[in-house]
């Protein structure tokens, strides 16, 4: 209850600070724009026919993808691709940094290098979005919905056949690419002018936007007598337990003790204080799950390029959430990206050098190379359980859907992203509140100083 109480207090106090209130309202406004765009259909698509197709094919290849887009994909809206092309582009650029010297140098050049890499990522996002958009346009052209025993297209009559079909494909690609670029712009605006990480918050908004519909579907199952009361109680208990477990692990950290040397300045003895260097058990946060999820969408995207091709659809079907192949590959990808992203975020040699320059040291460990080796050993030991935790919480709940006959995915991945992003955003709000308080104290001290003079 204490973290919840602290979060509520931080949120309430944030609206009392004018600058922070403006940032929160700006962030909320951007997210509202994103949700509005998730309901504007691509020209040429019959939304009712497409909704009928998804209701008849609940376990299709794009179910999890639709979760990340907040239902935008199932409605074939202008934001149907979501932010996933940008995430995929970011993954590829970061991995290329390990093998291409030029990219590796840019990664080490600080703000200027990051700006250049961000520019390349944006260009690559457009390319990926165009490729994915073309595949989806082909898939939409081939989708047939069962109406009174007859297969009907999900496209409007003027776009369904002939030259109109090619016009639809080009229009759909242009619309979806523009939508992805606009979402990318919205995310960057949140990061620079709002509160929190913009890309993560957009994914957060997409997942949360689907929760009311999922809850209503589950209630309909219960009201129709298809779901016993005891199963519903078990589902609620599992969701609460998963959220509690995620919060517990997200707050856990390993503290490395630090000591600063004593220094004599004039007649005073400075330093000699003890502190610690904290490392979270889940050092990489939700980024590995987002990265791995974007990779797992690839089979479905490839299948969309070759509609009505039996062996390709069978291959892609093996990557549906809940299947063994999906679970194994998804879990391994999460573990890989956890170590990969941790290695990018934390460089033991740089940490050791910074400690040496500041005069700090770890008791019992020699400064320099020995300190770097010690930190690297600690990071490896805490990253492994963190990676296993991410893989377990993301893969495990997927198998409960069929076991409990649920109408929606219990979504360990979704819950992990929602909880992780919410905690990170609250931490940023708290940090800004502390900054404002300190500024208040300083201003108060300056006023008192003027009055005394």
Q: Is the pLDDT of residue 413 over 80?
A: no
Structure confidence at residue 276 as a pLDDT band (50, 70, 90): confident
Query: Contact at 8 Å (CB) between 38 and 75?
Result: yes
Q: Is the pLDDT of residue 3 over 60?
A: no
Both tokens assigned to 97: 């940094």
**pLDDT (mean) for 10-39:** 84
Q: Is the pLDDT of residue 186 over 90?
A: yes
Q: How confident is the prediction for the chain on average, in pLDDT?
A: 78
**Residue 173: its pLDDT value, please?**
92
Name the least confident of 30-44, 93-107, 156-170, 395-409. Answer: 395-409
Structure confidence at residue 62 as a pLDDT band (50, 70, 90): low
**pLDDT (mean) for 221-236:** 76
Q: Is the pLDDT of residue 261 over 60?
A: yes
Higher pLDDT residue, 286 or 80?
80
Name the least confident of 18-27, 63-72, 84-93, 366-375. Answer: 63-72
**Residue 57: its pLDDT value, please?**
61
Q: Is the pLDDT of residue 157 over 80?
A: no
Q: Is the pLDDT of residue 29 over 90?
A: yes
Q: How far is CA 248 from the centre of its chain?
A: 19
Q: Is the pLDDT of residue 393 over 60?
A: yes
Q: Is the pLDDT of residue 149 over 70?
A: no
Whole-angstrom distance, CA of residue 18 vs CA of residue 427: 18
Structure confidence at residue 451 as a pLDDT band (50, 70, 90): very low
Q: Is the pLDDT of residue 401 over 80?
A: no
Can you give the chain as a three-state secondary structure string?
CHHHHHHHHHHHHHCCCHHHHHHHHHHHHHHHHHHHHCCCECCCECHHHHHHHHHHCCCCCCHHHHHHCCCCCCCCECCCCCCHHHHHHHHHHHHHCCCCHHHHHHHCCCHHHHHHHHHHHHHHHHHHHHHHHHHHHHHHHHCEEEECCEEEECECHHHHCHHHHHHHHHHHHHHHHHHHHHHHHHHHHHHHHCCCCHHHHHHHHHHHHHHHHHHHHHHHHHHCCCCCHHHHHHHHHHHHHHHHHHHHHHHCEEEEEEECCEEEECCEEEECCEEEEEEECCCCCCHHHHHHHHHHCHHHHHHHHCCCCHHHHHHHHCCCCCCHHHHHHHHHHHHHHHHHHHHHHCCHHHHHHHHHHHCCECCCCCCCHHHHHHHHHHHHHHHHHHHHHHHHHHHHHHHHHHHHCCCCCCCHHHHHHHHHHHHHHHHHHHHHHHHHHHHHHHHHHHHHHHHHC
Higher pLDDT residue, 159 or 142?
142
Q: Is the pLDDT of residue 443 over 50?
A: no
Name the least confident of 135-139, 240-244, 250-254, 258-262. Answer: 258-262
Q: Is the pLDDT of residue 143 over 70?
A: yes
Nearest to residue 176, comparing CAs of 87, 80, 89, 86? 80
Query: In the chain, what percentage of residues exceed pLDDT 70?
Result: 79
**Residue 14: its pLDDT value, please?**
73
**Residue 174: its pLDDT value, please?**
93
Q: Which of 180-194, 258-272, 279-293, 420-434 holds the top average pLDDT?
A: 180-194
Higher pLDDT residue, 126 or 211?
126
**pLDDT (mean) for 178-202:** 90
Name the least confident of 88-97, 98-107, 144-153. Answer: 144-153
**pLDDT (mean) for 28-36:** 91
**Residue 453: its pLDDT value, please?**
44
**Residue 410: its pLDDT value, please?**
57
**Residue 178: its pLDDT value, please?**
94
Query: Contact at 8 Å (CB) between 19 and 436?
Result: yes
End-to-end, the C-alpha distance of the chain in Å comes to 48
**Residue 404: its pLDDT value, please?**
65
Structure confidence at residue 409 as a pLDDT band (50, 70, 90): low
Angle at the Cα of 407 from the Cα atoms of 399 and 66, rounded to 5 degrees: 85
Q: Is the pLDDT of residue 127 over 90?
A: yes
**Residue 216: its pLDDT value, please?**
77
**pLDDT (mean) for 35-62:** 76
**Residue 58: its pLDDT value, please?**
56
């Amino acid at each position: 209850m204490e973290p919840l109480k602290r979060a509520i207090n931080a949120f309430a106090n944030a609206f009392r600070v004018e600058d922070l209130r403006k940032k929160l309202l700006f962030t909320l406004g951007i997210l509202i724009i994103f949700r509005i765009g998730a309901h504007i259909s691509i020209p040429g698509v019959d939304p009712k026919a497409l909704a009928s197709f998804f209701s008849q094919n609940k376990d299709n290849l794009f179910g999890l993808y639709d979760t990340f887009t907040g239902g935008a994909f199932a409605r074939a809206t202008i934001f149907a691709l979501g932010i996933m092309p940008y995430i995929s582009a970011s993954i590829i650029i970061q991995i290329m940094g390990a093998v291409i010297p030029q990219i590796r140098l840019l990664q080490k050049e600080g703000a200027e290098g990051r700006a250049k890499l961000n520019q390349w990522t944006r260009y690559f996002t457009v390319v990926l979005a165009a490729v994915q958009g073309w595949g989806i346009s082909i898939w939409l052209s081939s989708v047939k919905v069962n109406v009174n025993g007859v297969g009907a297209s999900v496209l409007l009559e003027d776009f369904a056949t002939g030259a109109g079909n090619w016009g639809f494909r080009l229009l759909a690609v242009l619309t979806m690419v523009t939508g992805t670029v606009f979402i990318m712009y919205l995310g960057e605006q949140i990061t620079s002018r709002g509160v929190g990480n913009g890309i993560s918050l957009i994914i957060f908004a997409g997942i949360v936007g689907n929760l009311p519909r999922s809850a209503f579907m589950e209630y309909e199952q219960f009201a129709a007598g298809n779901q016993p009361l005891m199963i519903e109680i078990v589902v609620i208990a599992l969701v609460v337990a998963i959220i509690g477990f995620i919060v517990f692990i997200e707050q856990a950290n390993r503290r490395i003790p630090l000591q600063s040397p004593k220094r004599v300045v004039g007649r005073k003895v400075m330093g000699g204080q003890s502190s610690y260097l904290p490392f979270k058990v889940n050092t990489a946060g939700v980024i590995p799950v987002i990265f791995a999820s974007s990779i797992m969408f690839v089979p479905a995207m490839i299948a969309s390029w070759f509609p009505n091709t039996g062996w390709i659809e069978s291959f892609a079907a093996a990557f549906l959430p809940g299947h063994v192949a999906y679970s194994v590959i998804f879990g391994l990808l999460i573990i890989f990206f956890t170590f990969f992203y941790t290695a990018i975020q934390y460089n033991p040699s740089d940490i050791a050098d910074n400690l040496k320059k500041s005069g700090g040291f770890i008791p019992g460990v020699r400064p320099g190379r020995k300190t770097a080796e010690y930190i690297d050993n600690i990071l490896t030991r805490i990253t492994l359980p963190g990676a296993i935790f991410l893989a377990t919480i993301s893969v495990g709940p997927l198998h409960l859907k069929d076991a409990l006959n649920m109408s929606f995915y219990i979504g360990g991945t979704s819950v992990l992203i929602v909880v992780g992003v919410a905690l990170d955003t609250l931490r940023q709000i708290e940090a800004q509140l502390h900054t404002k308080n300190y500024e208040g104290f300083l201003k108060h001290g300056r006023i008192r100083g003027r009055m005394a003079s």
